[in-house]
Chain A
Amino acid sequence: MWESLKEFASWFFVTGDPLIYGAMVSIALTMVAIVFVLTKYKKWGWLWREWLTTVDHKRIGIMYLIASLLMLFRGGVDALLMRVQLAFPNLEFLHSDHYNAIFTTHGTIMILFMAMPMMFGLFNMVVPLQLGARDVAYPFLNAVSFWLFMFGAMLFNLSFVIGGSPDAGWLSYPPLSQNDFSPGPGQNFWIWGIQISGIGSLATGINFIVTILKMRAPGMKLMKMPMFSWSVLSSCIMIIFAFPILTVTIALLYLDRFAGAHFFTMDGGGNPMMYLNLIWMWGHPEVYIVVVPAFGIFSEVVATFAKKKLFGYTSMVIAVMGISILSFFTWAHHFFTMGTSANVIAFFAITTMLIAIPTGVKIFNWLFTMYRGKISFKQPMMWTIAFIPCFVVGGATGVMLAVAPADYQYHNSYFLIAHFHQVLIGGVVFGYLAGIYYWWPKLFGFKLDEKLGAWGFWLWNIGFYVCFMPQYALGFMGMTRRYYTYGWDLGWEPLNLVSTVGAFLMGAGFVFQVWQITYSIKHGERDTTGDPWNGRTLEWSIPSPAPFYNFAVVPQVKELDDFWRVKEEKANGTYKEEPVHLEPIHMPKNSGLPFIMSFCWFIAGFGFVWEWTWMAAIGMVGVALVMWARSFQYDTDYYVPVDEVRRTEASLGRVY
């Protein structure tokens, strides 16, 4: 009995690596600490009522943000471990298997469990406020999306201590990701972590499309809608077309592994190249899904901090929507070297280069918005200004990669690594950080400290170039991605060392930002006006932090940047005060079902990962029961009485 238990444990848990034992201990300690604090301060009920069951888009946004910052930490630690291993030739800091696992989880986490939730966090925090709406179209579904993401992410991260991490690369190409080469549950964790959170992403896409199309304040025609909301629309359209492909692709991969199917196998008529096509049909739109909202953020930030209307609004709309279509016609540029015909390669090379056109339009629009503006260099604007040169270089190297004949030289080299980090960090991360700094006061009621933020900013930026510029050169020198070590004879060591130093500078930048947040909770400048940046759009017209119903009175919109119009009219005395008439506000009720259903998905996912059919069945029955129960629930909303609205507004300093 004891022996078989020991055998099970050594198979179930990851053993043998001191780094992982250390991580296990720290995870266990953190969990004990959380349970202890919640119990000691009797916060379990509060946690359940206020957060786990909430359907308020702002709270869901905050939870997304917290989760994504945790994931940024984990993905960042993975990156630093890799950079340590590569700092010098022939290091034995990481074993080759461990290195494979780490680059796999680094990529997966950064795209799917860091960038995506941070983006959804910003969607949730901002879009309804910007549209003058009281919530998203489907608040319950919104909570379902969040919890599916959360449990998917937890399932994925569990692989690190239980069962072993996936190690076939962030997109897990077969045949490497098949049973023969990746036996055991690691690869299944990758599949099911992504599958479960992917369902949530799809639902979010639907939710925000309907929100944007149908929940705008009266008078806000589409062409009077703020640019960030446009970018969210573009991103969500890509989500609904791309994510079903991902769902199918990884389901087929799982069938290969679990049911012995032959979709992507080397034998039985399977076709591994089909996997590459399918996964990149999702994968390439995916990078635009995450970067387009960043473009929206820059547009808002540039207009606000240059105190000018956004230059070329219409061309910006066309550019953003054009990218959502073009993004579906470039996927094969990820494997120019894999032997398709010259015509196919030419087609995809040209479509890839075409993307540079709308992107260039946007860059010029931002520059012209700044031109002759009175720019105030607050944190959101700093990140925006840093983004422009960084993204231009990243884009240009992207066009270099799109030149198919030359790509044979760069393919899968560190040149590629440097390129996509430059667009993903310089574009996505800088953009989301700009957005977080910009909208933080609206969510939390205080600004983030400028001084600590400046430290974070400069460390990130200097660190970025120190880390990634050498990698372009390393690519040309013949270093390909996913090497876990290299010899002294190759001459790569100086540039690799420099790159590692840069990575640690970025890590230090992140530490400053965490410090900045904790410092600012107590000492940050409070926002009592609701409009800390002299903003232009509706979200700045309500108090900070926004009350749970957002708008006491639904605003009537006349122009693009309507709040700016109101402020201007008030300044020159032409503003006509309309009589305010408070009405009861229709709101959705909180519900525990999204959490419970997602937990059932987690159980099912865990069963699928270990190929324990009984457990998967229990989980799926749970999911079905929750859906059944929800279908019979009719009492899902309520009205906030006028008195309560008046009281809440008065406590926020607004009298009606």
Chain B
Amino acid sequence: MQQVANNHEHGHAHDHEHGHEDHEQLKVLGFWIFLVTDCILFGSLFATYAVLMHSYAGGPTGKELFELPGVIASTFILLTSSFTSGLAILAMNKGKVKELIGWLVVTALLGLSFIGLEISEFTHLVHEGATMSTSAFWSAFFTLVGTHGVHVSVGLFWMVAIMMQLRRRGLTPVTRRKVTTLSLYWHFLDVVWIFLFTVVYLMGVM
């Protein structure tokens, strides 16, 4: 944050040289604010879930259907992907484009397997007779977990786009900013998942 402010004051003096870098910093700040709004979005879904978490309406409960081993596996996969996206940033700071792209590929593969596990979990649940329309509890469950899954999927497409741009253009102020915002987004989804894992799955099987 400090850096953002400094660069900005700088910028007016030499609009020329720093115009672009300034602008990139501005976008990072905007992205932080976007994450605030996304936080509220998930907050609303969590609140909804908390209200409806015992409204089974005679249908199956989470305790009956959740299979923790799979969920724990996907939790570790997502946490690891957060770590590898951090390694990607370290590679970027060292100016190593190839290493950066390599870590992004690892991150994306981990993200993809997370999504794969989630899809198979949902399929399993539907087979067991728990769908969106089974009860308020399952509506809230699928919406909350699904919204997180959609976020991760969007992040995967975004990651592919950025890897392509990195190959084409290497490290520029613009691509650096894009990698930075992407990794912010990825860490954010990780944090959301930790809450999700705790509130939905752990409290669900307790």
Contact = CB atoms under 8 A, between A and B. Distances in A.
Interface in A538-577: 554
A271 B139 contact: no
Contacts of B4: 214
Contacts of B55: 262, 268-271
B136 A271 contact: yes
Most buried by A among B36, B38, B45, B136: B136
A243 B37 contact: yes
A259 interface: yes
A269 B12 contact: no
Given A240-B33, A261-B133, A632 B139 contact: no
Given A137-B30, A270-B136, A214 B8 contact: yes
B34 interface: yes
Nearest to A243: B37
Contact of B40 (A241, A268, A634): A241
Interface string A242-268: 011101110010011001111101011
B206 interface: no
Contact of B56 (A215, A269, A278): A269
A205 B33 CA distance: 9
Contact of B48 (A206, A214, A260, A263): A263
Interface in A135-193: 137-138
B44 A245 contact: yes
B165 A632 contact: yes
A405 interface: no
Interface in B128-145: 132-137, 139-140, 143
A55 to B, nearest CB: 14
B161 A632 contact: yes
A655 B206 CA distance: 76
Contact of A137 (B12, B15, B26): B26
B44 A271 contact: no
B127 interface: no
Contacts of A249: 44
A210 B136 contact: no
Interface in A195-219: 202, 205-207, 209-210, 213-215, 218
A248 B169 CA distance: 38
Given A245-B44, A634-B174, A269 B135 contact: yes
A261 B139 contact: yes
B44 A244 contact: yes
Contacts of B27: 138
B132 A260 contact: yes
B29 A252 contact: no
A469 B26 CA distance: 49
B109 interface: no
A263 B30 contact: no
A632 B44 CA distance: 33
Interface in B91-147: 132-137, 139-140, 143
A260 B133 contact: yes
A624 interface: yes
B48 A248 contact: yes
A525 interface: no
A271 B161 contact: no
B51 to A, nearest CB: 5
A583 interface: yes
A15 B20 CA distance: 56
Given A245-B44, A248-B48, A206 B33 contact: yes
B52 interface: yes
Nearest to A202: B37
B185 to A, nearest CB: 14
Interface string A579-610: 00001101000000000000000000000000
B90 interface: no
A631 B164 CA distance: 11
A270 B139 CA distance: 9
A388 B38 CA distance: 38
A248 B165 CA distance: 33
B51 A554 contact: no
B165 A268 contact: no
Nearest to B160: A628
B165 A631 contact: yes
Contact of A210 (B29, B41, B57, B178): B29
A60 B106 CA distance: 42
Given A255-B132, A255-B143, A631-B165, A278 B44 contact: yes
A244 B16 contact: no
Nearest to A141: B30
Interface string B185-202: 000000000000000000
Contacts of B44: 244-245, 248-249, 278
B37 A255 contact: no
B140 to A, nearest CB: 7
Contacts of A241: 36-37, 40
A210 B34 CA distance: 11
A274 B48 contact: yes
B19 interface: yes
B34 A206 contact: yes
Interface in B6-35: 8-9, 12, 15-16, 19, 26-27, 29-30, 33-34
A583 B140 CA distance: 56
Contact of A214 (B26, B45, B143, B169): B26
Interface in A432-477: none
A252 B47 CA distance: 13
A207 B30 contact: yes
B26 A263 contact: no
A278 B137 CA distance: 17
A210 B4 CA distance: 12
Contacts of B38: 244
Contacts of B137: 269
17 contacts: A206-B33, A214-B29, A241-B36, A248-B45, A249-B44, A252-B143, A259-B132, A262-B55, A262-B135, A263-B52, A263-B139, A269-B135, A274-B48, A274-B51, A624-B157, A631-B158, A632-B165
Given A213-B29, A248-B45, 18 more contacts: A205-B37, A214-B8, A243-B37, A245-B40, A248-B41, A248-B48, A255-B132, A261-B133, A262-B135, A263-B48, A263-B136, A265-B136, A268-B57, A268-B133, A268-B135, A268-B139, A278-B47, A583-B15
Interface of B: 4, 8-9, 12, 15-16, 19, 26-27, 29-30, 33-34, 36-38, 40-41, 43-45, 47-48, 51-52, 55-57, 132-137, 139-140, 143, 157-158, 161-162, 164-165, 169, 174, 178
Chain A to chain B: the 5 pairs with minimum beta-carbon distance, closest first: A269-B55, A269-B136, A260-B133, A261-B139, A269-B57
